[in-house]
Amino acid sequence: MSVQWLHATILPVPNPPEQNPILVSLGQQLFHDERLSGDRTVSCATCHALETGGMDREKVSTGIGGKKGVIRAPSVFNSHLNHTQFWDGRVKTLEAQVDGPLHDALEMASNWPLVIGRLNADPQVRSDFKKVFNEELNPEQVRIALAAFQRTLMLTNSPFDRWLAGDMEAITAQQKNGFRLFQEYGCISCHQGANVGGNMFARMGSLESFTLFKSADMERVSLGRYNVTGNRKHLYVFKVPGLRTAALNHYFFHDSSANSLEEAVEIMARVQLGRHLTRDQAQDIAEFIRSLLGEHPMLKQVLSD
C-alpha cells in the first residue's frame, strides 16, 4: 500500500457496489426511457448524457416542450459518493432524487400514475420487474432500479488515483505542483474524499460576495439551501460539487457563470479563500483537476475537444 495513499486527504474512487444485474439493467433501460416524461420526449439521459460526462454540458438544460431550466445539470457519474443530491442537497438518496426531475414542470413534467401505466403496458418491463420484486410494479421499484444503475456510474482508475497507488509517472510535474497548490491554498478543505467534494455544504462566496446572477429565476436558485430550510444561515450555501468530472464541463458553478476550468479555479480562490492566483498557478491547479478524471465504459468524451 502506498505511503501517499495512507496520508492522502483525497481517496481513490472505489469500485461500484455489487448489485442484482437484472435490476441494474432495468435501471439503465429506464434511464434512457422517454416514457418517463409527460410528452415522451425527454429521458434522464437527455440532461445527463453518459457519453459526454453524465451531463448535457449546457448552461441550463432543456426539458419537455423546449422549456429551459434554471440551474446547471450536474454529472451523474460518482453521484453515489455524494452525501446528498441536487445542488441544494434537498434529498439524501439517489432513490429520493428521482421524484425531482420527474415532477418538475421544466424537466419531465410527469407523474407516477402516468409512468406506471405506461410501463405496465410493456409486457417485458413488467416481467423483468416481477423477477426482481415479485409484486405489482410501483413507483418505489422504479426509484430503486434507477438508483441501482446510477451506483454503477463510478469513474475509476484516474491518473491521480494511479499516482496515489504508487505509480510516480501517472501524473505530470505540472499536475503534481497543482496538487501541492490545491493543498497549500486550502482548496482541499472543501474538496476531499473519493469524489474530491460532494460530502459537505459550503457558502458560495465565503470571503467575497458571489452575485453573478443571470435572471430572477437564477437569483432564486442561487439562494441555495435557504430555499430548502428557510434558515437565513443557509443563504448561498450549496453542496460542494465533486471535481471528478470537472475536466469535462463546458460551464462551471450552479449558474454556469464560469466558462473554463481555469476561470473557475481563479474565482473560487478569490471568493472562497481570499487568494488572487497568477495565470500559471490557476493552470497548474486546473491540470491537477484534469488528472482526477477516471474511466467508465459509457464515458466516451475526451478532454482534447
C-alpha 97 chain-centroid distance: 12
51 is catalytic: no
- Measured distance CA(97)–CA(215) in Å, rounded: 25
Q: Which residues contact 73 (CB under 8 A, 6 or more apart)?
A: 47, 48, 55, 56, 58, 60, 61
Q: Which residues contact 270 (CB under 8 A, 6 or more apart)?
A: 207, 208, 276, 277
Active-site hit among 34, 51, 58, 107:
107
Phi and psi (nearest 5°) for 4? -60, -40
Q: Which of 14, 48, 44, 50 is nearest to 298 (CA)?
A: 50
- Measured distance CA(82)–CA(123) in Å, rounded: 35
Rg (CA), the chain: 20
Residues identified as active-site: 107
